[in-house]
Amino acid sequence: MTTRRQRYIDELINAFEAAGVPAAIERTVDGAFSREEGVVLVVHRGRERPTTSISGSAKRDCELRLGVVTRGDDPEGSADSVLAVAHPILMAFKSEGLFTVSETGTDEPKFADGKVCLITAHYVIQYKSGPGTLGT
């Protein structure tokens, strides 16, 4: 069974690919660092917590992270080019059971070796899961 949050991530990746986000796309930071492409968008989740119970169902807040791994002379410019395309897609995202998407901030650039950089934007998706499950 696929959880709602995993389905949302899959749907977002499909939307990013369809929109032509100017980056390769990965699900893990390790996967992004191991790729040779100059710019990689990492779509993954962070912390999740149920906030309320509605008739056995739970309203959940799940952190969604868009990390951009860049290689080259202008890491912030490269990351901003990717986020400029991905951000409006995420903010307008609609799916079954999804209530809201909100932006919570962006981390400062983190450099691995002076050339490889990671910049992560944080969002919270709020959704409803079924009684006793992380799915419908």
Rounded Cα distance between 4 and 134, Å, is 6
Residue 136 counted as domain residue: no
Question: Which pLDDT score, from 0 to 100, does residue 136 have?
Answer: 59
The answer to whether residues 42 and 28 touch, using CB atoms and an 8 Å cutoff, is yes
Residue 134 lies in a domain: no
CATH at 35: 3.30.2000.10
Amino acid at position 61, single letter: D
- If one counts the domains in the chain, the total is 1
Burial of 1: CB neighbours in 10 Å, binned 0-12, 13-18, 19+: exposed
User: Which residues 6+ apart lie within 8 Å of 17 measured at CB?
Assistant: 25
- For residue 16, the enclosing domain spans 4-129
Q: Please report the pLDDT score of residue 122 as a whole number.
A: 98
Predicted confidence at residue 112, as pLDDT, reads 82
pTM of the model: 0.90
In a structure prediction context, what are the per-residue pLDDT tens digits for the chain, which is 136 residues long?
688 899 999 999 999 999 999 999 999 999 998 888 889 999 999 999 887 776 777 888 999 999 999 998 888 999 999 999 999 999 999 999 999 999 999 999 998 877 789 999 999 999 987 766 666 5
